[in-house]
Amino acid sequence: MSTRRDKAEIRKQNKMPSLHHRKPKSIGGARHDPANQSWLPENKHRAWHTLFSNHSAQSIAYMINDKYLDPEYVFICVRKEAVCTDSS
């Protein structure tokens, strides 16, 4: 039986993309909704989860501001519905 890490290594060696859930399933993200899925290179997918685990968008924005971003800037995270006024 192969572990998650084994599968990740196979994907990496074969340069296969891996499926990322933009809103993690562990916090309620939809497993099969294409809008919640992105195919990422394995190394970038792993890097994302190394940095941000399965935290919420708001928590990630907090971490970016707290530890990574130029202190002269602020990274703001808002729900799309708060800024999108598409009336179609």
Q: Which residue is nearest to Zn ion (CB)?
A: 20
Site for Zn ion in 9-48 (CB under 5 A): 20
CB of 73 to Zn ion, least distance (A): 26
CA distances from 26 to 20, 21, 69, 83, 87 (A): 12, 10, 26, 26, 32
Smallest distance, Zn ion to C-beta of residue 62, A = 19
Nearer to Zn ion by C-beta: 26 or 74?
A: 26
Q: Which is nearer to Zn ion, 20 or 23 (CB)?
A: 20
Number of residues that bind Zn ion (CB under 5 A): 1
Residues interacting with Zn ion, by CB under 5 A? 20
